[in-house]
Chains A and B, each alone.
Chain A
Amino acid sequence: MLEFFFLFMIIAAGTGGELCLSRAMKVVGEVHDFRPAALARFVLRAMRVGWMWIGIAMMTLAFFSLLAMLSIENVSFVVPVTALSYAAGAFGAMLFLHERISRQRWLGVLIVCVGVTLVWLSRR
């Protein structure tokens, strides 16, 4: 039961965090200038966006959930199972960022889910 909770947190908080960061980066705008001073200004600008902090907090939560999951299960099980984040990412991007997901991407996500199911069934 605890494994389900941690897995849910890794995927939900990790994907949620990435979506928040993605949203924050869209607010900040595309990077054109890669010189150190320009990059530092970019980071400072990004730090003023609320979504960035929500994203960082969620990704921290996902990281500690990953640590907890790794204390229970083998790494060869945990890491492949977290590939479910591709499905969560596709749904999240569609609902939260209003992105259009192509049929090919949905097919890839479906195949990832089949693979994750096989890995889950291999659990002792």
Chain B
Amino acid sequence: MKDSPGLHLKTYVLILFIVLFAPLGNVLLSKGMKGVGSAKNWALSDIFHVLFSIITSSYIWLGIACLLTFFVAYMLVLTWADYSYVQPASSFSYAVVAVLGYFLLGEAVPPLRWAGIFVICVGVFIVGHTHPRTTEKA
């Protein structure tokens, strides 16, 4: 990654986008799907009704828009920043999704889940610090 203050600022802003928009997208999808009803109660004959509910849910579309924003930010930042820098930074999104779930959806997040999320972040951080190319360059 080339070094300049402007580039650093651009990288931090896009990583902030990644860490916020992916969890926000998932939280909105969750909110939308809770409105559709549990998949445990879906019958095969209800499939069109369920699909209609999904595609007419504004939460689902907002969630998709957030996930697309995340995807574009992820692709953009990878055009100049190293994968081994971006991926560990994006591991924070696992913690952010729990925080958003707690505050926006009122989900109960037990201490064991927080501990698990922390361990996942550590694991992703280690995975991200390995060399991105695992085969010899042709």
Which A residues have a C-beta under 8 Å from some C-beta of B?
2, 6, 34, 66-72, 74-80, 83, 86, 93, 97-102, 104-105, 107-122, 124
* CB contact under 8 A between A74 and B30, given known A83-B94, A108-B130, A114-B123: yes
Residue of A nearest to B138 (CB): A26
Contact of A101 among B26, B29, B134 (CB under 8 A): B134
Which B residues have a C-beta under 8 Å from some C-beta of A?
23, 26-27, 29-30, 33-34, 36-40, 42, 54, 60, 79, 94, 97-98, 100-102, 105, 107-110, 112-113, 115-131, 134-135
In the complex, the answer to whether B124 meets A83 with C-beta atoms within 8 Å is yes
Q: Could you pull out 22 A-B pairs where Cβ atoms are within 8 angstroms?
A: A67-B29, A67-B54, A67-B60, A68-B33, A75-B107, A77-B113, A79-B23, A79-B94, A83-B94, A98-B135, A108-B130, A109-B123, A112-B127, A115-B116, A115-B117, A115-B120, A119-B112, A119-B117, A120-B116, A121-B116, A122-B110, A124-B108
Tell me which residues across on chain B come within 8 A of A112, comparing CB atoms. 119-120, 123-124, 127
